[in-house]
Amino acid sequence: MSNSPHRTVTRTATAALAGDPDDVIRPAALRVVHDTAGIDLAAAERAAAQFLTALGISSDSESLRGTPGRMARAYAELFSPRPFNLTTFPNDEGYDELVLARAIPLRSVCEHHLLPFVGTAHVGYLPGQRILGLSKLARVVEHFACRPQVQERLTKQVADWLQTHLEPQGVGVVIEAEHTYMTLRGVQATGSRTLTSTLLGTLRSDARSRGEFLALTGLSR
């Protein structure tokens, strides 16, 4: 089992499904790097100071003097996912049951208001010729979440990326998140959560497989 903070569910205990340390590069590993060359922290800090001033908030006081810089660094971190290796292994045992990582912590930023949304992602797949290092399911979620996003697109991007690079029999992604632009402003619907899903391959076309996936995510009782 993986040491990641999220829970992992498999139908059988299979040694071949053990995760691989993130700093180990295997022959069948795809390096994923987010381009951070466009980040200019100094310019972002100046813009943050102007933004606060435009809202009537002075950053001259001791407690607020460093706020523009902190804002710039915070958003740079939110928009900069860590690089990782998409490590895959031959499915030598012919494992053909569902692999599901549940409750992967998720945080992103709504591209319409630049306010955070937070929640969990459930990501699963039916293996084909190769299986995936388990921690990489969380890494793929982080990769697409670290940018201005909408939840619908994020859900589909994770599923499509896994389908393209892993070529499994099927992929399922469910994201449940709370959007602060809904809970802190506007309608102020405190406690409301948004659910989105993308099912591909067998998990979409086969009712039994789809039902098993939804049951294991806790969405079907």
Domain layout of the chain by residue ranges = 7-33+86-217, 41-78
Burial of residue 163, with CB atoms counted within 10 A of its CB: 0-12 exposed, 13-18 middle, 19 or more buried: middle
Query: What's the pLDDT tens digit per position in 204-219?
Result: 999 999 999 999 998 7
Residue 14: pLDDT band (50, 70, 90) is very low
Summarised one tens digit per residue, pLDDT across range 155-189 is 999 999 999 999 999 999 999 999 988 878 777 77
pLDDT (0 to 100) of residue 32: 62
Tokens of 187: 């309608």
Which one is predicted more confidently, 111 or 218?
111
Closest CA to 103 of 125, 93, 118, 88: 118
Q: pLDDT: is 106 or 87 the higher one?
A: 106
User: Of 112, 109, 87, 96, nearest to 18 (Cα)?
Assistant: 87
Amino acid at 54: A
Please check the confidence at residue 10 and state whether its pLDDT lies above 50.
Answer: no
Q: Would the pLDDT of 145 be above 50? A: yes
Contact 85, 25 (CB under 8 A): yes
Measured in whole angstroms, the distance separating CA 124 from the mean position of its chain's CA atoms is: 13
Asked if residue 143 has pLDDT above 70, the reply is yes
Q: Which amino acid is at 148?
A: P
pLDDT of residue 221: 54
Domain 7-33+86-217 sits in CATH at 3.30.1130.10
Q: What is the pLDDT of residue 117?
A: 94
Runs of H (alpha helix) within 29-168: 41-54, 67-78, 135-145, 151-166
Give percent above pLDDT 70 in the chain: 82
| pTM for this prediction | 0.80
CA dihedral of residues 149, 152, 156, 159 (deg, nearest 10)? 90
Q: Does 25 have pLDDT greater than 70?
A: no
The model's pLDDT over 63-85, given as tens digits with 9 standing for 90+, comes to 899 999 999 999 999 999 888 88
pLDDT at 121: 97
Across 46-55, 130-139, 181-190, least confident range: 181-190
Q: Which amino acid is at 94?
A: G
